[in-house]
Amino acid sequence: MTRTGLRVPATDPARTGPTAEPDPRRILLLACAVTFLAFLDATVVNVAFPDLRRAFPEASLARLTWVVSGYAVLFAALLAAAGRLADTLGRRSLFLGSALAFTLTSLAASAAPTAGLLILARALQGAAAAGMIPAALGLVLAHTPPERRAAALGAWGAAGGLAAAVGPSLGGLLVEAWDWRAIFLVNVPLGLAVCRAAARAVPREGRFVRQLPDPVGTFALALGIGGVVTGLSQGEEWGWSDPAVLGLVVGGALFAALALYRSRRHPAPAVDRDLWRDPVFARATAGSLLFGAAMYAWLLTGPSYLTARWNYSVLEAGFGVTPGAVLAMAGALVVGRRVPARLQWAAVAVGSLLFAANALLLWGWAGASTSYAQVFLPAGLLGGLGIGVTLTALSTAASATLPAQRFAAGTGLLMTARQLGGALGIAATAALLTGAGGGAGAGGHWRGVFLLAALLALGAAAVGCSMRVRRGVRKES
């Protein structure tokens, strides 16, 4: 019995079905499918806001923003807990249950008769997505030979890039062809197909006799991350001195600290703190936080810049950011297949520098040019390539340090850091874009956001360089 409350029994051949020899490629394909759905729904709703306002005229704009925020908050808040739960109850069980829940909540969102019920369905959908991601990636890592894991992670990262590439344009097309309900309804047949295929392709795992994660610590962690993300997301709208914002951020931080404190000695902690004892995993987590902040600040600002400064339509802006997202897919695949494990630190550094170059290019030209081909396209290509390279390299380097029975838990922590960084980046972006002064007429507010993204990416590059020295890869057990 370890301090995490784990006993690993001998493999039970009777519990290896439904397929005796699972096909890693099919499992990877299923993981990519749910990742595509989860990240597609994180972005596709943005283009539906005008249609949502017409459908629910009684709801204020501030309330309707929770159609996006409700999903994002629950997604971020439950990732770490879901990863821990996947390694406890079984990655297959959580994968199937979460995929089915995601399908049903998508159906509920498409049929929601009121704004309140739509927001509730979206929050539950975000919770289901939080269960899918660490369980899916845990299955990929568990059933892929070590020498092929980097390539598998590259394909998995490309699925997220594909979601970013098609999200704005697909959302715009669905809304124009039908209405906002189509962007949720399209998930239903895809989700059902994934559930059916996973029930056949993913093997049942041997039982890990393990305590359930500390319920108090798990609840405190979810409240903590959810509170911080909500406070940061709403700070600019409600006012940073508003008691509700201060209460959410400070209270969330205290709850998160309580979860970490309880995890020091609990036999089944909510957070596997000992994973951070590995310097590479710890630094990869820090890199995910910094790069997540830079990436989400840029992803929020790019389409807004095209619509607000260059008067693009929403659909035109969606197509305008697509080339960068396509290159993100290419970067993820190349890093996964071509960069050896010993050089993943270099890929993190180079990818972050590429992203910083994109942000600096926009910082230098914001307000000075309206040429898409000369400014935004090359910047977007650099940024997209940087995203694909960096995220894949961070995941690959971090996963190399994880023992097999903690693949999902480690993935959950890494993704939580990225989403928390994203909340910080979005909050800073909102503050800069709506702040007083700054030469807004000459693009001053936009330049501030681009400079912030560049500085954060440079910080991630420095973290990547620090990942070079390591004591060796932890062996699987």
Shared domain check, 411 and 286: yes
Distance CA 24, CA 22 (A): 6
Residues 216-273 pLDDT 10s: 988 898 888 888 888 887 787 788 889 999 999 999 999 999 988 998 888 878 788 8
Structural domain contains residue 475:
no
Structural domain contains residue 192:
yes
- What pLDDT was estimated at residue 232? 82
Distance CA 25, CA 156 (A): 11
Shared domain check, 462 and 346: yes
Shared domain check, 147 and 40: yes
Q: Which residue has the tokens 């070590």?
A: 146
- What pLDDT was estimated at residue 212? 76
> Is a pLDDT exceeding 50 seen at residue 6?
no
The last residue of one of the domains, among 202, 222, 237, is 202
Distance CA 21, CA 25 (A): 12
CA torsion angle for 329, 332, 337, 340 (degrees, to 10)? 170
- What pLDDT was estimated at residue 476? 41
In sequence order, which residues have a C-beta less than 8 Å from that of residue 36 and are 6 or more positions away?
A: 159, 160, 162, 163
Shared domain check, 231 and 161: no
Shared domain check, 264 and 162: no
- Tell me what the mean pLDDT of segment 373-391 comes to: 90
Structural domain contains residue 1:
no
Q: Mark out the alpha helices in 339-443 (DSSP H runs).
A: 344-365, 377-399, 407-434
Structural domain contains residue 13:
no
Distance CA 127, CA 131 (A): 7
- Least confident segment among 50-64, 91-105, 182-196, 344-358: 50-64
Shared domain check, 132 and 234: no
Domain that holds residue 221: 214-269
- Tell me what the mean pLDDT of segment 58-83 comes to: 82
Distance CA 169, CA 261 (A): 45
- What pLDDT was estimated at residue 444? 66
Distance CA 394, CA 352 (A): 11
Question: Does the CA dihedral 373-377-381-386 come out positive or negative?
Answer: positive
Confidence class for position 209, pLDDT limits 50, 70, 90: very low
Please measure the distance between the N-terminal and C-terminal CA atoms of the chain and give it in whole angstroms: 14
Tokens encoding 334: 């190349």
Number of domains, the chain: 3
Shared domain check, 300 and 332: yes
Shared domain check, 389 and 373: yes
- The average confidence (pLDDT) of the chain is 83
Structural domain contains residue 335:
yes
- What pLDDT was estimated at residue 469? 57
Structural domain contains residue 197:
yes
- What pLDDT was estimated at residue 16? 40
> Of the candidates 146, 154, 141, 38, which has an alpha carbon nearest to the alpha carbon of residue 99?
38
Q: Tell me the three state secondary structure of residue 447.
A: helix
> Of the candidates 295, 293, 451, which has an alpha carbon nearest to the alpha carbon of residue 383?
295
Shared domain check, 290 and 256: no
pTM flag (> 0.85): no
Residues 10-50 pLDDT 10s: 333 334 444 456 789 999 999 999 999 998 887 788 777 77
CA distances from residue 81 to 215, 225, 227, 409 in whole angstroms, order as listed: 10, 11, 15, 8
The residue that leads in pLDDT, 177 or 15, is 177
Which H helix or E strand runs over 7?
strand 6-7
- What pLDDT was estimated at residue 427? 81
> Of the candidates 342, 474, 467, 472, which has an alpha carbon nearest to the alpha carbon of residue 403?
474
The last residue of one of the domains, among 176, 202, 228, is 202
> Is a pLDDT exceeding 50 seen at residue 475?
no
- Least confident segment among 90-99, 208-217, 324-333, 354-363: 208-217
Shared domain check, 116 and 64: yes
Across-strand partners of 6? Answer: 210
Structural domain contains residue 14:
no
Confidence class for position 470, pLDDT limits 50, 70, 90: very low
Structural domain contains residue 314:
yes
- 437-470 core/surface letters (b: 16 or more CB in 10 A; e: else): eeebeebebbbbbbbbbbebbbbbbbbbebbeeb
For residue 360, the domain's CATH number is 1.20.1250.20
- Tell me what the mean pLDDT of segment 471-475 comes to: 43
Shared domain check, 440 and 424: yes
Confidence class for position 441, pLDDT limits 50, 70, 90: very low
- What pLDDT was estimated at residue 435? 62
Shared domain check, 261 and 192: no
Confidence class for position 84, pLDDT limits 50, 70, 90: confident
The last residue of one of the domains, among 202, 236, 254, is 202
> Is a pLDDT exceeding 90 seen at residue 359?
yes
- Percent of the residues in the chain that have a pLDDT greater than 90, as a whole number: 32
